[in-house]
């Protein structure tokens, strides 16, 4: 009997099916390896969404997980269409309360897929119906995230899928349900890892808090100014604790005086200014009838009001009522004494504005601990401030004395008639400049100009000394205006003036002297109703780097005399070659 030959087509079909099955097994193993190697929740959810895209057609999704107390489903992953991507952060961490009517809650509680469309959207609360209306949805499907397909345990959370055009394919939903068990256990591990990370951060925050506390203590103790300490304390307390307004009041005699107000946000600047104005003139006495602040101080015990709004209608001192009204919306209020050697020396205020805040027992103890050493820091600063004030008074006296000395020295160095520096100042400055420029001849040049008013004795005899003095004053002014800021214009004596020109060579000195000569010749001098014209003769010399100051002056003086002997109203320069006449017009 002949052996039957297998059908070739059937064999090929079986081989193809085996190949597909092997490919599916390989892909499944790769996916499981990828999942097992991922511990971060965000990365794990990215992998899950990528796999869901391969098996199901949907437009957007939200992945939600139950919180520790199973009171809410909290969104951990959002993906919206591109035109709505800007809203993804808005839905991140969005909560669905377990006691609300919602498709997510129904899916979580029933542990089954919930399908919603426009026909039944009203059954799942107003939010669901509104979501269909605003986003023009066609269908919404919620799938429970189970550890295992038939697990009796509560789901880890839910996946909510949205589609605009048509329903979501049931086959795609079934594929996602088969996919989820691969992720369930690793998601649980990722949450444990995230929880461990958060616990580690809490430990690190506790260590950082301890370090900040030590730094605050050290920083405050290092401050010497009371104003600096007030600023440092205010900023630290507002940064550390959940309050909006901080104030510090210190005992002065038989009163508690407000020293500092600070707010955490500029929106409360108006409140801060109003309190500063009111308590700048209004102080608390130490009588307990004056208000809660005085009671806290006298009894040396903190006072804590969880919600001030609940006691606003109760009897209280006028100062307290006025202060609370200026705060506009005070809620949580803590008053804590500042201690020095266990005795109160002041109080601090911590106030929340606009809403009550949680102020834990550990936070209260920390505030009391901080206040227990603030008093010592303030005492040290008061001593330092007193010493600084005394030092400042002494420095002010010394400064005043120095000003008097400088004033006297200026008076002794100034010419009373012209206001220029006098001959004594010129000699001192010339000696200093000659010494400096002699050492640095290559880098610096120094020139000197001496000016003499022509025929000034005749001018005085003709017009009188009053007019003559006025002319000398104007000669001084015109010369000073033509000089540079660094140039030194002095009254040399009588009708003579000297101009010391730093960083100026002989040609520069000649050009300067010529400008002065032309200015005085070209414009008349008008004084006491008298118009007069004068001329001047000028001599110039450049310091040679080695000569004494007296020789330098003598060379300049000889150049001046050459100008006078050669007809006046001219400029002459000192040279080694002989007399040289510069531009000028001889005037008798």
Q: pLDDT tens digits for 247-276?
A: 999 999 999 999 999 999 999 999 999 999
Please report the pLDDT score of residue 439 as a whole number.
64
Residue located via tokens 């009053």 = 466
Q: Shortest CA distance to 232 belongs to which of 224, 242, 244, 220?
A: 220
Q: Is 313 helix (H, G, I), strand (E, B) or coil?
A: coil
In angstroms, the CA 319 to CA 326 distance is: 11
Q: pLDDT tens digits for 363-414?
A: 888 888 888 877 777 776 666 666 566 767 777 777 776 766 565 566 567 8
Tokens, residue 249: 């009041």
Average pLDDT of span 30-57:
86
In angstroms, the CA 446 to CA 438 distance is: 9
Please report the pLDDT score of residue 224 as a whole number.
60
Q: Shortest CA distance to 298 belongs to which of 283, 282, 286, 290?
A: 286
Residue located via tokens 């009163």 = 255
Q: Is 259 helix (H, G, I), strand (E, B) or coil?
A: strand
Q: Which helix H or strand E contains 168, and what residues bound it?
A: none
Residue 88 or residue 294, greater confidence: 294
Give me the helix-helix angle, 269-281 and 318-327, nearest 10°: 160
Average pLDDT of span 344-358:
92
The end-to-end CA distance of the chain, in Å, is 161
Q: Is 357 helix (H, G, I), strand (E, B) or coil?
A: coil
Length of the chain: 588
Q: pLDDT tens digits for 513-536?
A: 999 999 999 999 988 777 889 999
**Ramachandran assignment for 494, one of left (phi > 0), alpha (psi -120 to 50 degrees), beta (any other):** left
Q: pLDDT tens digits for 192-245?
A: 877 777 766 755 655 555 555 555 565 556 556 778 878 888 888 898 889 999
- Whether 14 has a pLDDT exceeding 80, the answer reads no
Q: Are 181 and 156 in contact (CB under 8 A)?
A: no
Number of helical H runs and strand E runs in the chain: 16, 20
* Residue 114: strand pairing partners: 142
In angstroms, the CA 465 to CA 458 distance is: 11
In angstroms, the CA 296 to CA 282 distance is: 18
What average pLDDT does the chain have?
A: 84
In angstroms, the CA 57 to CA 44 distance is: 20
In angstroms, the CA 242 to CA 40 distance is: 32
Q: Are 56 and 139 in contact (CB under 8 A)?
A: no
Tokens, residue 417: 């008639």
Transcribe 40-82 into DSSP letters.
-HHHHHHHHHHHHHHH---SEEEEEEE-TTSSEEEEEEEE--G
What sections of 454-496 are H helices per DSSP? Answer: 456-463, 465-482
């Amino acid at each position: 009997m002949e052996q039957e030959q297998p059908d070739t087509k059937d064999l090929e079909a079986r081989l193809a099916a085996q190949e597909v099955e092997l490919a599916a097994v390989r892909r499944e193993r790769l996916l499981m390896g990828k999942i097992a190697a991922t511990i971060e929740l965000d990365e794990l959810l990215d992998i899950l969404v990528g796999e869901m895209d391969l098996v199901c057609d949907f437009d957007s999704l939200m992945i939600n997980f139950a919180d520790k107390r199973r009171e809410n489903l909290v969104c951990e992953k959002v993906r919206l269409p591109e035109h709505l991507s800007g809203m993804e952060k808005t839905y991140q961490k969005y909560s669905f309360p377990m006691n609300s009517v919602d498709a997510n809650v129904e899916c979580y509680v029933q542990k089954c897929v919930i399908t919603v469309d426009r026909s039944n959207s009203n059954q799942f609360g107003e939010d669901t119906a509104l979501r269909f209306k605003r986003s023009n949805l066609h269908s919404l499907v919620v799938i429970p995230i189970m550890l295992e397909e038939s697990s009796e345990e509560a789901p880890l959370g839910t996946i909510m899928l949205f589609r605009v055009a048509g329903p979501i394919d049931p086959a795609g939903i079934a594929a996602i349900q088969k996919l989820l068990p691969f992720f369930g256990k690793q998601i649980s591990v990722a949450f444990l890892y995230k929880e461990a990370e958060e616990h580690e951060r809490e430990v690190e925050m506790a260590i950082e808090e301890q370090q900040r506390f030590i730094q605050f203590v050290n920083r405050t103790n290092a401050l010497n100014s009371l104003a600096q300490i007030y600023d440092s304390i205010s900023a630290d307390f507002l940064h550390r604790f959940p309050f909006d307004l901080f104030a510090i009041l210190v005992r002065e005699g038989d009163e508690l005086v407000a020293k500092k107000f600070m707010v955490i946000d500029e929106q409360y600047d108006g409140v801060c200014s109003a309190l500063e104005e009111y308590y700048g003139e209004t102080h608390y006495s130490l009588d307990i009838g004056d208000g809660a602040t005085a009671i806290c101080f006298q009894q040396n015990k903190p006072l804590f009001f969880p919600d001030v709004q609940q006691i606003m209608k109760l009897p209280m001192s006028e100062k307290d009522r006025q202060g609370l009204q200026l705060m506009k919306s005070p809620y949580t209020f803590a008053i804590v004494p500042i201690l020095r050697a266990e005795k109160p020396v002041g109080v601090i205020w911590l106030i929340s504005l606009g809403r009550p805040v949680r102020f834990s027992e550990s936070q209260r103890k920390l505030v009391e601990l901080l206040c227990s050493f603030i008093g010592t820091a303030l005492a040290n600063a008061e001593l330092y401030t007193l010493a600084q004030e005394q030092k400042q008074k002494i420095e002010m006296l010394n400064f005043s004395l120095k000003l008097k000395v400088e004033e006297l020295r200026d008076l002794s160095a100034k010419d009373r008639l012209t206001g220029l520096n006098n001959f004594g100042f010129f000699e001192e400055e010339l000696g200093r400049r000659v010494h400096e420029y002699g050492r640095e001849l290559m880098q610096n040049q120094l020139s000197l100009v001496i000016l003499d008013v022509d025929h000034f004795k005749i001018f005085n005899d003709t017009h009188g000394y009053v007019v003559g003095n006025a002319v000398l004053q104007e000669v001084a002014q015109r010369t000073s205006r033509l000089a540079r800021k660094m140039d030194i214009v002095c009254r040399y004596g009588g009708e003579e003036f000297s101009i010391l020109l730093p960083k100026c060579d002989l040609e520069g000195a000649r050009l300067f002297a010529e400008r002065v000569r032309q200015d005085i010749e070209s414009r008349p001098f008008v004084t006491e109703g008298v118009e007069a014209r004068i001329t001047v003769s000028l001599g110039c010399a450049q310091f040679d780097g080695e000569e004494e100051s007296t020789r330098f002056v003598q060379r300049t003086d000889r150049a001046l005399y050459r100008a006078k002997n050669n007809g006046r109203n001219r400029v002459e320069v000192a040279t080694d070659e002989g007399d040289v006449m510069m531009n000028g017009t001889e005037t008798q």
